[in-house]
Copies of this chain bind each other. A is one copy, B any other.
Amino acid sequence: MRLSRYFLPILRETPKEAEIISHRLMLRAGMIRQEAAGIYAWLPLGLRVLNKVCDVVRAEQDRAGAIEILMPTIQAADLWRESGRYEAYGKEMLRLKDRHERELLYGPTAEEVVTEIFRASTRSYKDLPKNLYQISWKFRDEVRPRFGTMRSREFLMKDGYSFDIDQAAARHSYNKVFVSYLRTFERLGLRAIPMRADTGPIGGDLSHEFIILAKTGESEVFCDQAYLDMPVPPPSVDFDDVAGLQGVVDAWTSHYAATDEMHDEAVFAEVPEASRLSARGIEVGHIFYFGTKYSTPMKAVVTGPDGSERPVHMGSYGIGPSRLVAATIEASHDEAGIIWPDAIAPFDVALINLKVGDGACDTACAEIQAALETAGLSVLYDDRDERPGAKFATADLIGLPWQVIVGPKGLAEGKIELKRRASGERETLDPVDLPARIRRL
């Protein structure tokens, strides 16, 4: 993509309303634009990151056997009356009426809708287990939305829902998602630590939050350092292996880890002092097992092997991709801007032409772009008529993993410069070696 044809509205000044670094950087890098309080448009660069996050989330859900659906954003109030949550949910629910005065709402979550879909179609234990998920926009009318897409009113969420015949089977479904989330965050370049959590308005008796550590995190967390280098299961992990998955979950819950809310100072004191870690954390995922909380009132029942009907055991599982984009920046930036992990970088390479209009530079850049794209790498080519300083600043700000710098001096010797954004390391090389060099990492 040529930058001259792209839409990258970089801001020169730091926006005053942005309180945290990810919000500032997303605005400055032209990733998002606020359209109303807590409501954002995703501009081209931001959308590319968001889509990459979703791709990873989706791939790991599919690997774990979950099946993708898409429920509507607008839901019927009556469905929420069946579960008893319509009145209980409070002011965070955006309630509305259509032209016929029918009560609707913008879904903040979808337990009711998915339970309705399930009960309409599934009659037998033979059709279980099922895990249905979607990646879709939700709305929660926060009283004071802030922190950009970290806590926006309209936000993207992957929400999954599992259905099982009994508690033991539901536990396995829970473990599948637990492991899929470990893999998801690892692929996103994040170390997320599962912490026992309060179940809140979703209800239920088993719940974990997945927390990443970041200096600017929203809450205090306490855990054993053992989690920092605990291995994450490989792609080949067998999600049908009940005992195997339970073993992974047991290992990942064997040490102390708690958010402020669930923290127990006395138990934490038993962790060897050298292993105790107090830090700031950001919640990036939350999973719940809540048994028959929805299936009983909503009559989502199946026939068991003995022919009798019973309500299904359910769980729900959330990851917020729009929040993850911001959380990743909180965990990965420096003074010059964002540092994208390779997996979710909007482009792999920033190609910087130091002298646009110079025949040799223009030709070399066109060839390099073609060669990199042929090698499967995505390139944002800065072909603007700007001074080098502005181009370097833009490249650092938007944080693509690699910068390829092409100038007349180097080209005279047949060389270009390659810079790794994260480390700042630079090397000089022949353009033909570039695709292999970048692929090597």
Interface residues of A (CB under 8 A from B): 5-7, 9, 30, 33, 35-37, 39-44, 47, 50, 65, 67-76, 79, 91-92, 94, 96, 98-99, 102, 104, 106, 113, 116-117, 120-122, 130, 132, 137, 139, 141, 143, 153-154
For the residues of A in contact with B, the DSSP-based class is: mixed
Q: How far is the CA of A267 from the CA of B102 in the complex (A)?
A: 47
A35 touching B130 in the complex, CB below 8 Å, given contacts A69-B7, A73-B73, A96-B96: no
| Bound Cα distance from A122 to B130, whole angstroms | 49
Asked if residues B75 and A35 are in contact (CB atoms below 8 Å), the reply is: yes
Q: Are A69 and B43 in contact (CB under 8 A)?
A: yes
Residue of B nearest to A30 (CB): B121
14 pairs across A/B with beta carbons < 8 Å?
A7-B69, A35-B71, A35-B75, A35-B76, A35-B116, A37-B102, A40-B72, A41-B71, A41-B113, A47-B68, A73-B73, A74-B94, A99-B141, A106-B106
Return the contact of A120 from the options B33, B96, B153 (Cβ within 8 A).
B33
Instruction: Find the B residue at minimum CB distance from A79.
Output: B35
Contacts of A137 in B (CB 8 A): 72-73, 137
Least CB distance from A108 to B in Å reads 13
Q: Name the residue among A5, A70, A106, A154 with the largest chain B CB count within 10 angstroms.
A: A70
The answer on a CB contact under 8 Å between A47 and B70 is: yes
Q: A5-B67, A74-B139, A137-B137 are in contact. List 9 more A-B contacts (CB 8 A).
A: A9-B121, A35-B76, A37-B102, A41-B70, A41-B117, A42-B71, A47-B70, A74-B94, A99-B143
Contact with A98, one of B5, B7, B94, B130 (Cβ below 8 angstroms) = B94
Whole-angstrom distance between the Cβ of A20 and the nearest chain B Cβ: 20
Copies in the complex: 2
A41: which B residues are within 8 A, CB to CB? 69-72, 113, 117
Q: Select which of B7, B69, B96 is within 8 A of A67 by beta carbon.
A: B7
Please, which residues of chain B bring their CB within 8 A of the CB of A76? 35-36, 39
For A7, A30, A37, A154, which residue has the most chain B Cβ atoms within 10 angstroms?
A7
Q: In the bound complex, how far is the Cα of B9 from the Cα of A23, in angstroms? A: 43
CB distance from A46 to the nearest CB of B (A): 8
Report chain B residues within 8 Å CB of A121. Answer: 7, 9, 30
Complex Cα gap A401–B113 (Å): 32
- The answer to whether B6 and A113 have CB atoms under 8 Å apart is no
Q: Contacts A74-B139, A75-B36, A76-B35 hold; do A69 and B42 have CB atoms under 8 A apart?
A: yes
B residues less than 8 Å from A98 (CB atoms)? 94, 141, 153
A33 to B119, CA, bound (A): 12
Report yes or no: B7 in contact with A74, Cβ–Cβ below 8 A: no
Report the minimum CB–CB distance from A420 to chain B (whole Å). Answer: 28
A67, B6: Cβ atoms closer than 8 Å: yes
Contact A74 B33 (CB under 8 A): no
Q: Is the CB of A70 within 8 A of B99?
A: no
Closest to A41 in B: B71
**A74:B39 contact, CB within 8 angstroms:** yes
CA distance A75 to B33 in the complex (A): 13
- Contact present for A47 and B69 (CB under 8 Å): yes
Given A67-B6, A130-B7, are A35 and B94 neighbors across the interface (CB < 8 Å)? no
Docked-complex contact B67 and A42, CB < 8 angstroms: no
Q: Which residue of chain B has the shortest Cβ distance to A48 in the bound complex?
A: B68
Given contacts A6-B67, A99-B141, A74 and B36 within 8 Å (CB-CB): yes
Assembly CA distance A310 to B79 (angstroms)? 51
